[in-house]
Chains A and B, each alone.
Chain A
Amino acid sequence: MALLNFMKPMNELEEGGRTSAPVQRDAGEPEKKCPNCHKEIPLSRLWANDLVCACGYHFRMKARQRIQMIADKDSFRELFSGMHSDNPLNFPGYREKIETVRAASGEKEAIVCGTAMIGNQRCCLFVMESYFMMGSMGSAVGEKITSLFEYAVQYRLPVVGFTVSGGARMQEGLLSLMQMAKTSAAVKRHSDAGLLYIAVLTDPTTGGVTASFAMEADIILAEPGATVGFAGARVIEQTTKKPLPEGFQTAEFVLEHGFVDSIVPRSAQKQYLADILQMHDGRAV
């Protein structure tokens, strides 16, 4: 049984997690500037508010912190935690890079998978990790996602997944590209088994992850302000030589264009997911 095990904090945003630190200000309390409203926010207040500023700006969140926020207390059981990528192509610098990232993030790979209860509803849960090579998908991420969907088919469980990704992990070349096909096939089998899959797109969800399992859910939610797109904004600007429209590739933009079901702020996510899960709780009509 793998209990939630917080790794050594990586930056000031993770310290303490959400349950500790009473909301009060000491004279010397550290603050964090919000990139949206530019106000200085005492860190304790940020922690108490799931890393959301009073103005609504959602800071990025570590995978395990998010699991603690979404899963019922002590309900998360990690699966496939031993899987991680080697350097299959002997890509220059990759091994060093991945070792540095492992040490800094405390994670073996860019995704955490397992089972959990959300509002007393049992489900499979995956959360991608932005602090691990920006959630890029290599062979291990593909293998873990695929294994989780197969597990969900075997035990007839819904899947809830939080995506965050810069796309495919180029250091694994073609093998990472093929993970798009592999994960999509696993999602399809889960779907064909009549099971529910809810994706929550968080900042940023792009590239090969958008073009595979992020966009294949029955119900697709997004966090406010999250970047959601396929191609990188700079690449598009260079290709088209046109200025990008206001709010291009935000969660609000993809909602307007019909590609997500709803934008759900962090504070409402757990209840929202629980409600949806409950409405699909296995009693087929």
Chain B
Amino acid sequence: MSDAAYKRVRIARNNDRPTGLDYIRHIFKGFIEFHGDRRYADDPAIVGGIARLEGSPVTVIAIEKGHTAKERTWRNFGAPNPEGYRKALRLMEQAEKFGRPVICFIDTSGAYCGIGAEERGQGQAIAENLMVMSTLCVPVISILIGEGGSGGALALAVADRVWMLQNAVYSVISPEGCASILWKDSAKAETAAASLKLTAEDARNLGVIEKILSEKEIGEKAFYERIRGLLKEELEVLARDAELVGKRYDRFRKIGAAAVMKESV
């Protein structure tokens, strides 16, 4: 089986790729970071706040992996705890109150698998985000910039538009995890990666994302300018849409429906 999909996984995980904060700093102006979930703690794996996109205020939220070894450890390698998702939710509800669009940048191997995360309700935190995001009455655009690891990524991706970088991946489980569960052999990760259909092209073919963003000149000025232009253009379309919430429901409602066989009984 082709290893093309697993190559994408390796690229998506590469430490040299721009991280969430790089996108925030280069695409927006005047970013002001807000901390904490008002419940328990501030999770450094998720960064959020307000900024301007070509002059208009927006709420921006990003999963941040960090660049240096020290920062990566501090940010838990971009694996959020429940308080990260609750901070994101707080900022999204704040955006709704003040009529600001929400833009999320996603890059995580998954929600953190830890004792404290379970004690503080990792499942409940993700579930609540999915539920509340589905009816948020401001436009939401989510961009997968690296790894899109399962529920931990989806918790910021119940959006009107979901885009993926060309080499980003989006998957229900890591290829290694899948191979180890199904075939008791994590070395079969390449086969798993190909079978899981986790590339940007796969996601678009499955109707899970709308757009694939080219990685030409990634990390350079032109790259961020291009994304800024696309965001501005799309937000203008979404802002005029009176049926936003209904369409968001339909967007997710139809996913997988074609995969379901309906026999008459």
Contact = CB atoms under 8 A, between A and B. Distances in A.
Interface stretch (A17-25, A41-49, A137-145, A273-281): A137-145
B242 interface: no
Contacts, number: 210
A259 B121 CA distance: 7
Contact of A230 (B123, B177, B203, B260): B123
Contacts of A172: 172, 256, 259
Interface in B158-186: 158, 170-173, 177-178, 181-182
B149 to A, nearest CB: 10
Given A211-B151, A236-B114, 14 more contacts: A139-B259, A139-B260, A172-B256, A173-B172, A174-B198, A177-B172, A180-B151, A181-B255, A185-B158, A185-B253, A187-B131, A211-B130, A230-B111, A249-B118
Interface stretch (A66-74, A76-84, A261-269): A76-84
Interface of A: 2, 81-86, 88-89, 91-93, 108, 138-140, 142-143, 146, 168, 170, 172-182, 184-189, 191-192, 207-208, 210-216, 229-232, 235-236, 239-240, 242, 244-245, 248-249, 254, 257-259
B126 A83 contact: no
Contacts of B112: 239
Task: Decide if the interface of chain B is mainly helix, strand, loop or mixed.
Answer: helix
B134 interface: yes
B123 A82 contact: no
A188 B135 contact: yes
A142 B256 contact: yes
B117 A231 contact: yes
Contact of B196 (A2, A170, A210, A235): A170
Contacts of A239: 112-114
A201 B154 CA distance: 23
Contact of A139 (B117, B118, B173, B257): B257
B195 interface: yes
